[in-house]
């Protein structure tokens, strides 16, 4: 195992993405905004708690909310370290049949721009990431009905044998698609993916875990119960996962609170089982550009909204250790401030990102800039692995992968 110092990512510069040509969007018809009537509080799970948090939101000033969340951050993670990870998003396919109305990334099967990356292309991207100090890849793609389970198993074995690195991959709804295509139950899918080399699962696809909202923005995606069941199945298989919330899609505050409370209940169950659990929570506001919802007139998330959501999430999710900012969607300055509203992680220095940038948002920046932002907010920046172990405390490589014996020599 080499112990060469990790390179500083000064070579990664902000990228400019050209807007998607209108013609390539093809089937993304502009549809009118459907009507949405939120459920009353007393018809919801956790109704008393939702009512109590609504009262907090109405009566506690933002800075006081932030101070409470900051105190809880200190209690949960201690000290003044703010961590970040160096990784690369690899979107192995953009072919998708689920047509989420908020998505600017996917292409329908017959679209000229639909693709599936070859194993060699994926391997090359991993090698590039490792050369820049990357310690994980985030593998996510569309719901591609032409890829059976064997394709995923072969890919994972290929990565672990030829380009070993931590694989944080395949969100809950992709897992459900694999299960459907392969006609195998979810828990069996996890057993096989884990054996082949899957190390952890990202929390994408949660959006808002309230079915009335999901029906409104992504009617063909798994429902909220299924999203939670799949995460708990991953935990039962010994995999850690993350959890997310994309807000600002037309929902009401009660929906956000229901979402966060569902996550807390799910974490309680998983921690009691003692295998995998949620390692972190990440929230961000919907980015409408180039999506079917672009003309729905959904009010864009504001800074106050983001800080409130971050602080409330930290306060409610008292069984989650880590809350991550989303500088990619909120911008670096807002991300800095969120570090005083309960967040303790700056997320990922993404060597490549395609999903948010497809919606016209591009705040990717070099590592020195991330460190400068963290430092000037009054914290100490530290690189981490997926399981939140700090790189300088474990220079031999990702402890999760090392423990599983699946990493080999990362060359770092
Ligand atoms: S968010 Fe995912 S599932 Fe939905 S359309 Fe985009 S790629 Fe497909």
β-bridge pairing 380-383 and 81-91: parallel
Indicate the Cα dihedral angle 152, 223, 274, 342, nearest 10°. 100
Number of other residues whose CB lies within 10 A of the CB of residue 131: 13
Q: Which of 136-140, 167-171, 231-235, 355-359 has the lowest mean pLDDT?
A: 355-359
Q: Per-residue confidence at 279, pLDDT binned at 50, 70, 90?
A: very high
| Residue ranges of domains in the chain | 41-404
pLDDT digits (tens, 9 = 90+) for 61-85: 999 999 999 999 999 998 899 999 9
Residue 74 structure tokens: 């200190």
How far apart are the CA of 217 and the centre of ligand 1, in A?
A: 11
Confidence (pLDDT) at 411: 34
Q: Roughly how many angstroms between the first and final C-alpha of the chain, as a whole number?
A: 7
Q: Kindly state if the Cβ of 142 falls inside 6 Å of ligand 1.
A: yes
Closest approach atom of ligand 1 to CA 142: 7
Residue 351 structure tokens: 């060597």
Confidence (pLDDT) at 133: 86
Q: Kindly state if the Cβ of 98 falls inside 6 Å of ligand 1.
A: yes
Residue 396 structure tokens: 């031999």
Closest approach atom of ligand 1 to CA 102: 1
Confidence (pLDDT) at 14: 32
Name the residue with the closest Cα to ligand 1, atom 4.
100
How far apart are the CA of 49 and the centre of ligand 1, in A?
A: 32
Cα–Cα distances (Å) from 4 to 137, 162, 163, 340, 366, in that order, read 20, 20, 18, 34, 20
Q: Kindly state if the Cβ of 177 falls inside 6 Å of ligand 1.
A: no
Closest approach atom of ligand 1 to CA 141: 7
pLDDT digits (tens, 9 = 90+) for 230-263: 999 999 999 999 999 999 999 999 999 999 999 9
Does residue 240 contact residue 289 with C-beta atoms inside 8 Å?
no
Does residue 149 contact residue 186 with C-beta atoms inside 8 Å?
no
Q: Within 13 Å of residue 160, how many CA atoms lie on the same side as its CB?
A: 22
Number of other residues whose CB lies within 10 A of the CB of residue 79: 10
Given a cut of 80, whether residue 352 has pLDDT beyond it is no
Number of other residues whose CB lies within 10 A of the CB of residue 289: 13
Percent of all residues in the chain with a pLDDT value above 90, rounded to a whole number: 73
Confidence (pLDDT) at 43: 96
pLDDT digits (tens, 9 = 90+) for 284-329: 999 888 888 988 888 888 999 999 999 999 999 999 999 999 998 8
Does residue 380 contact residue 390 with C-beta atoms inside 8 Å?
no
* Strand partners of residue 140: 91
Average pLDDT value for the chain: 88
Confidence (pLDDT) at 3: 30
DSSP per-residue codes, 161-177: HHS--EEEE--HHHHHH
Which of 105, 144, 167 has its CA nearest to residue 355? 105
Closest approach atom of ligand 1 to CA 218: 4
**For residues 213 and 203, what is the distance between their CA atoms, to the nearest angstrom?**
18
Confidence (pLDDT) at 355: 57
DSSP per-residue codes, 258-327: HHHHHHHHHHHHHHHHTS--EEEEEEEE---TTSGGGGS-PPPPPHHHHHHHHHHHHHH-TT--EEE--H
Angle at which helices 172-182 and 149-162 cross, to 10° = 120
Confidence (pLDDT) at 92: 96
H-run or E-run covering 194: helix 186-196
Given a cut of 90, whether residue 406 has pLDDT beyond it is no
| Domain 41-404, architecture per CATH | Alpha-Beta Barrel (3.20)
Given a cut of 60, whether residue 408 has pLDDT beyond it is no
pLDDT digits (tens, 9 = 90+) for 318-329: 999 999 999 988
Angle at which helices 224-236 and 186-196 cross, to 10° = 50
Indicate the Cα dihedral angle 305, 306, 310, 315, nearest 10°. -10
Given a cut of 80, whether residue 362 has pLDDT beyond it is no
**Residues 90-118, mean pLDDT to the nearest whole number:** 93
How far apart are the CA of 300 and the centre of ligand 1, in A?
A: 20
């Amino acid at each position: 195992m080499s112990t060469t110092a990790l390179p500083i990512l000064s070579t990664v510069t902000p990228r400019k993405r050209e807007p998607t040509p209108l013609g390539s969007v093809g089937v993304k018809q502009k549809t009118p905004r459907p009507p949405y009537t939120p459920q009353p509080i007393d018809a919801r799970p956790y109704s008393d708690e939702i009512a109590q948090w609504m009262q907090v939101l109405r009566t506690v000033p933002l800075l006081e909310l932030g101070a409470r969340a900051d105190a809880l951050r200190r209690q949960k993670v201690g000290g003044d370290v703010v961590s970040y990870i160096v990784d690369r998003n690899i979107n192995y396919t953009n072919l998708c049949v689920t047509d989420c109305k908020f998505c600017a990334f996917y292409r329908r099967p017959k679209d000229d721009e639909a693709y599936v990356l070859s194993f060699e292309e994926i391997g090359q991207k991993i090698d590039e990431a490792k050369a820049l100090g990357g310690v994980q890849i985030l593998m996510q793609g569309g719901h591609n009905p032409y890829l059976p389970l064997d394709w995923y198993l072969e890919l994972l074995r290929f990565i672990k044998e030829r380009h070993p690195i931590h694989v944080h991959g395949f969100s809950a709804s992709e897992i459900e698609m694999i299960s459907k295509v392969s006609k195998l139950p979810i828990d069996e899918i996890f057993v096989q993916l884990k054996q082949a080399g899957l190390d952890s699962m990202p929390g994408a696809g949660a959006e808002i875990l309230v079915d009335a909202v999901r029906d409104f923005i992504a009617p063909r995606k798994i429902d909220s119960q299924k999203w939670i069941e799949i995460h708990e199945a991953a935990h039962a298989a010994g995999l850690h996962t993350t959890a997310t919330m994309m807000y600002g899609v037309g929902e009401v505050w009660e929906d956000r609170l229901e979402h966060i409370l569902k996550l807390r209940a799910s974490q309680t169950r998983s921690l009691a089982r003692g295998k995998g659990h949620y390692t972190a929570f990440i929230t961000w506001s919907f980015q409408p550009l180039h999506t079917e919802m672009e003309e729905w007139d959904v009010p864009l998330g504001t800074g106050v909204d983001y800080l409130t959501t971050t602080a409330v999430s930290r306060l409610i999710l008292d069984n989650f250790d880590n809350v991550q900012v989303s500088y990619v969607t909120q911008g670096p300055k807002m991300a800095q401030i969120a570090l005083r509203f309960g967040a303790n992680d700056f997320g990922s220095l993404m060597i490549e990102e395609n999903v948010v940038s497809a919606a016209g948002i591009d705040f990717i920046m070099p590592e020195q800039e991330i460190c400068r932002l963290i430092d000037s907010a009054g914290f100490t920046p530290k690189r981490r692995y997926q399981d939140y172990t700090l790189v300088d405390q474990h220079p031999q490589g990702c402890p999760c992968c090392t423990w599983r014996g699946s990493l080999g020599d990362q060359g770092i």
